[in-house]
Chain A
Amino acid sequence: MNAKQRKLIYRILPYLILTVIGICFLLPLLWVLVASVDSNALQSLKMPTRFTGANYGDVMTNGENQRAFLIGLVMSLGQAVIVVILGLLAAYPLSRYQMKYKKPFMLTILFMTSLPITAVMVPVYQLFLSLKLYNNIFGVILFYVASSMPYGIWMLKNFMDSVPNDMEEAAWVDGASVFTGIRKVVAPLMIPGICTVAIFTFSGSWGNFFVPYILLQSPENFPASLKLYQFFGQYGMADYGKLAAFSVLYALPSVVLYILSQQFMSKGFGLQGGTKG
């Protein structure tokens, strides 16, 4: 093997390896996409017997499924909104005031962002029983809020640090209160940050299975993730097409929101031109 051949191999090999990795990652995903439009889907990937939209139609017109999607939406949206509002409030003094224990507080918050939620679910279940919040959708939202609050505070505080003080001070001079300042000046300048936090908390709970599985009991309270699991267990063997269609519909919000979040992140924070001089 001469030097030229070796150089060629070094050029092609990475493409070859990446293509193999790509195919391995693609195959399971391709199955769910193809099976969802196949009138006679099987467990393995194959060309559809006949292309059909019936799987999607059946899943979408089913009242129970609609309810599950709606509950999931209420939970995740409710959580995202509350986390953003409470997070903004908490981030404000952490970003603007000089506080004695700010540093240890922020480190505790960072510490809490990485704790595995799975480990506290048994006591949370017991707590929910005694607070009469068990099998209550709003109880689940409260827990979701608490568990993503550290992340929300941490991110929003850092985003708020990058909003200059002068514009807010200008608003005060014009007679705005602290709250008006946050609402009308600081928050609008943090839209990319707020959207990032909202999207990540939304996707986190939308995709969560364990928390509602522990805290909810009756099937009429199940969000989409539990419904899919139920579907999987009950009819999984029989109806791969519908199962795949449900999966695609359920995964869609996460995918769309992720793409949206990339938009916000790439735009960055063009705040430098906000105040001149």
Chain B
Amino acid sequence: MSSLTVPSVYKKRKSYTWLYFLLPSIAIMLVFFIYPILLTFFYSFTNLALTGEAAKELKFVGIDNYIRMFHDPTVRVSIWNTLIFLIGSAVIGQQVLGFIIALLMKHKNRLFRRVIGTIVLAGWVTPEIVCALCLYSFFGDEGTLNAILSFVGISDVTWLYTVPMLTVILANIWHGTAFSMLVFQAALDDVPTEIEEAAVVDGASRLQILCRITIPYIKDTILTNMMLVTLQTLGVFGLIYAMTGGGPGTSTTTLPIFMYNQAFVNYQLGYGTAISLLLLLLGIVLSLFYIRSMKEQ
């Protein structure tokens, strides 16, 4: 294969030609992507605000924003909410449900696979605001869920008020599971059937085959997928914002919602940035794990 070796013509080119090709995209990424990341670190140490005294003059306030964060009970609540949302909707919800669907679908009737697969995929393809609307009306006071439950004698439950976190978690599961399902379908197809067949001959139960052969075999995929799904879920804003607005109270206020409220509702951009730095650092750590797992594969 000629494409595996770099032919001599390429080597002869001047060593800086590549710069012209890369310059436009690097420039635009530097200005609108890397620079804002650096600004995040910078602004989080300032009193940047949209209104009031602080708006007139930008001042360094050292780690004041971080001290404030440390004492702010809402920060603790939103970190906690973010964790619940991440674990509930990403790690357990999308990941486990996606795996179960992929596993159960294996070797099933083709038409049946197609129908179920399409339904699950539809939630993934649908834009997040439409997802929010669909699930909002599903869990609404006069929504579909209550209409169904009234048949079995359970009268109106105000899902969005009594269990708001559960509703946004389920909404995110509805929106995101297809991604994990696709990833696991591809991974499960790669597990050689011979190994599983050999295990059956040796008298292994289904559960044993799953835990001792299938899952260890796709371990890397599970880890990489977990990182990706967690990263995607970390940045979820529109879905929660449109469904509950972070409420009632602060019950569904995750870090992105809290960041938004501080920066754009209370006009405390500096403080809002300090919170987004928390998100960014979490994202950076997870991304580093992600590229490490990709490098190994």
Contact = CB atoms under 8 A, between A and B. Distances in A.
Interface string A43-86: 11110000000000000000000000000000000000000001
A247 B133 contact: yes
A26 to B, nearest CB: 5
Nearest to A99: B18
Interface in B59-114: 97, 100-101, 104-105, 108, 112
Contacts, number: 276
Given A164-B3, A247-B130, A255-B122, A31 B24 contact: no
A111 interface: yes
Contact of A107 (B119, B264, B276, B295): B295
A116 interface: yes
A21 B174 CA distance: 10
Contact of B3 (A17, A117, A123, A165): A165
Classify chain B's interface size: 35 or more
Contacts of A254: 125-127
A17 B97 CA distance: 11
Contact of A22 (B17, B43, B120, B130): B120
Interface string A13-29: 01101110110011111
A229 B115 CA distance: 30
A28 B135 contact: yes
Contacts of A172: 9
Contact of A115 (B17, B116, B256, B280): B280
Nearest to A109: B29
B144 A28 contact: yes
Contacts of B287: 111, 114-115
B242 A18 contact: no
A6 B22 CA distance: 62
A209 B129 contact: yes
A244 B133 CA distance: 9
A126 B269 contact: yes
Contact of A28 (B100, B137, B147, B272): B137
Nearest to B40: A123
Contact of A118 (B104, B135, B237, B269): B237
Contact of A120 (B104, B236, B280, B294): B280
A118 B279 contact: yes
Interface in B218-248: 227-228, 231-232, 234-238, 241-242
Interface in B234-280: 234-238, 241-242, 256, 259, 263-264, 269, 272-273, 276-277, 279-280
Given A18-B101, A247-B130, A120 B33 contact: yes
A163 to B, nearest CB: 8
B201 interface: no
Contact of B138 (A27, A93, A143, A225): A27
A124 B128 CA distance: 22
A54 B295 CA distance: 54
Given A42-B142, A169-B7, 18 more contacts: A17-B104, A21-B120, A25-B122, A31-B137, A32-B134, A43-B137, A43-B142, A44-B142, A86-B25, A96-B10, A97-B13, A120-B40, A125-B269, A127-B36, A146-B28, A149-B28, A209-B128, A229-B129
Interface of B: 1-3, 6-7, 9-11, 13, 17-18, 21-22, 24-26, 28-29, 31-33, 35-37, 39-40, 43, 48, 97, 100-101, 104-105, 108, 112, 115-116, 119-123, 125-130, 132-135, 137-138, 140-144, 146-147, 174, 177, 206, 227-228, 231-232, 234-238, 241-242, 256, 259, 263-264, 269, 272-273, 276-277, 279-280, 283-284, 286-288, 290-291, 294-295
11 contacts: A17-B100, A28-B174, A43-B142, A89-B22, A118-B279, A146-B29, A153-B25, A209-B238, A228-B133, A250-B127, A254-B125
